[in-house]
Chains A and B, each alone.
Chain A
Amino acid sequence: MPVESRVLSENLYFSGLSLPELDSIKSFFSEMRAERGEIILLEGELADRLFFVAAGIVKLFKISAEGKEQTLEFVRPGGAINEVSVFDGGTNPASAQAMGPVSLYIISRNDLESILRDYPRVTLNVIKVLAGQIRHLVSLVEDLSFRHVIGRVAKILLEHAGDGARPGQRLTQQEMAAIAGTAREVVGRSLKTLEDRGIIKLERHRIVVTDKEALKQMTDARY
């Protein structure tokens, strides 16, 4: 399918460009499709092309030394999935996988640099996007390093659990994140950690606290 100016205009990099300007740069792009589960990029690979999500969702993830998968982010339409490696010339910091049918717009590094030279507006937009990502990552680092998020999540579970006489409160991960003052992804990570340690069990629409004493001790956890 041809690259569409309308879809490009929804990308933050090209925000504010006129239709003639979008029409002139879309020739630099090609379209690629991926099916659910398909790996688009691998962590550690060099990148000479930038991938934008035009439709669908792409998951960015890392695999730990123990073989565990850690989801970093879901990239929605309008977002780029590997700008870090394209801009700094290094390797991909994460792998990318299609969560469902996905359409991607691809541009080579050389062509991207041409656009950045010819359209200062695009350069400013890129700087804004990268600055926003840095701000988000700094907040995550602060959360993970200093704020004992797992302890706050443990506290939330204890405070909202049912006690047999009355049912437990129902909370979404987003609600837990809002209470804990952190991001949804960090809550998900904390719940997985608690499950790995055998303190809770994640079931379909239920979180079962299997070791209440251990969970209480986690409320003082430093990591």
Chain B
Amino acid sequence: MAEAPVIDRNKCDGCGLCVNVCACNVLILVDQVVTVTEVERCDWCADCEAVCITGAITCPFEIVIQD
């Protein structure tokens, strides 16, 4: 299964700004908490992380050295 942005439900205040900026339309609010749907469509632009005031949604990068 594709990687998804990481969501901390305790930090999410349901403001919806991340849903608003998601150009891939993979984020929705369910019971006032952000949820990722159709994760394969997420292009990892990390705009959701950039606009989140509470740090509830993050897009961590794994750092690897190419052989």
Contacts and interface: CB of A to CB of B under 8 A. Distances in A.
Interface of A: 36, 55-57, 74, 76-77, 99-102, 157, 160-164, 167-175, 184, 188, 201-210, 212
B29 interface: no
A74 to B, nearest CB: 5
Given A99-B20, A99-B21, A162 B65 contact: yes
B46 A173 contact: yes
A132 to B, nearest CB: 16
Given A74-B50, A174-B55, A206 B23 contact: no
9 contacts: A56-B17, A76-B53, A99-B51, A171-B61, A172-B59, A173-B46, A204-B3, A206-B62, A207-B63
Contacts of A55: 20
A57 B3 contact: no
Nearest to A99: B21
Given A74-B51, A76-B51, A100-B20, A207 B44 contact: no
Given A100-B20, A101-B20, A204-B44, A174 B49 contact: yes
A171 B46 CA distance: 12
B3 A168 contact: no
B44 A212 contact: no
B63 A209 contact: yes
A56 B20 contact: yes
A161 B20 contact: no
Contacts of B20: 55-57, 99-102
Given A172-B60, A204-B3, A212 B65 contact: yes
A161 B66 CA distance: 10
A212 B64 CA distance: 10
B58 interface: yes
Contacts of A204: 2-3, 42-44
Closest 4 CB pairs of A and B: A100-B20, A170-B60, A168-B63, A99-B21
User: Which of A77, A157, A170, A188 has the most B CB atoms < 10 Å from its CB?
Assistant: A170
Interface string B1-38: 01100000000000001011111000000000000000
A171 B3 contact: no
Contacts of B55: 174
B46 A36 contact: no
B44 A174 contact: no
Given A174-B55, A205-B3, A164 B67 contact: yes
A206 B42 CA distance: 13
Contacts of A201: 66
B23 A162 contact: no
A169 B61 CA distance: 8
Given A57-B17, A74-B51, A172 B58 contact: yes
